[in-house]
């Protein structure tokens, strides 16, 4: 039996991905898109038409395979699903570290 390690809040960082922060943002956006589709009881085919993408591409995104989909496209998807998206730029809490990008769903 192997030991259990406490991970960080970013699974992609724990797995050693170079672009872990961007992957975490995409994962949060994809999760919200999936949640809206589920709440509206849309099939993936119906949702794909609304979002302007193919059903296989939507399916891949919802399963976490979103490397070929930009954050901008995901924001467009949220807009097509009737959501407003705000981008806020502010100074980091601690000036000694680089800024971070995160998704906050209200």
3-class SS of residue 74: helix
CA distance 79 to 58: 15
**Does the pLDDT value for residue 94 go beyond 80?**
no
Residue ranges per structural domain of the chain? 16-80
Taking the domain 16-80, which CATH number applies? 1.10.260.40
Q: Which residue has the higher pLDDT, 2 or 88?
A: 88
> What is the per-residue pLDDT across 51-70, written as a single tens digit (0 to 9) for each?
999 999 999 999 999 878 99
pTM of the model: 0.82
Chain Cα centroid distance, residue 75: 9
**The pLDDT value given to residue 1:** 52
Position 58 scores a pLDDT of: 97
SS3 87: coil
């Amino acid at each position: 039996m192997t030991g259990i390690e406490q991970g960080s809040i970013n699974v992609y960082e724990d797995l050693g991905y170079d672009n872990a922060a961007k992957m975490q943002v995409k994962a949060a956006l994809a999760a919200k898109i999936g949640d809206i589709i589920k709440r509206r009881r849309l099939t993936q085919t119906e949702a794909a038409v609304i979002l302007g993408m193919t059903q296989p591409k939507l399916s891949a995104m919802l399963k976490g395979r979103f490397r070929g989909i930009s954050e901008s496209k995901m924001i467009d998807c949220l807009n097509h699903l009737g959501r407003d998206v705000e981008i806020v730029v502010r100074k980091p809490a601690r000036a000694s570290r680089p800024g971070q990008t995160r998704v906050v769903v209200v």
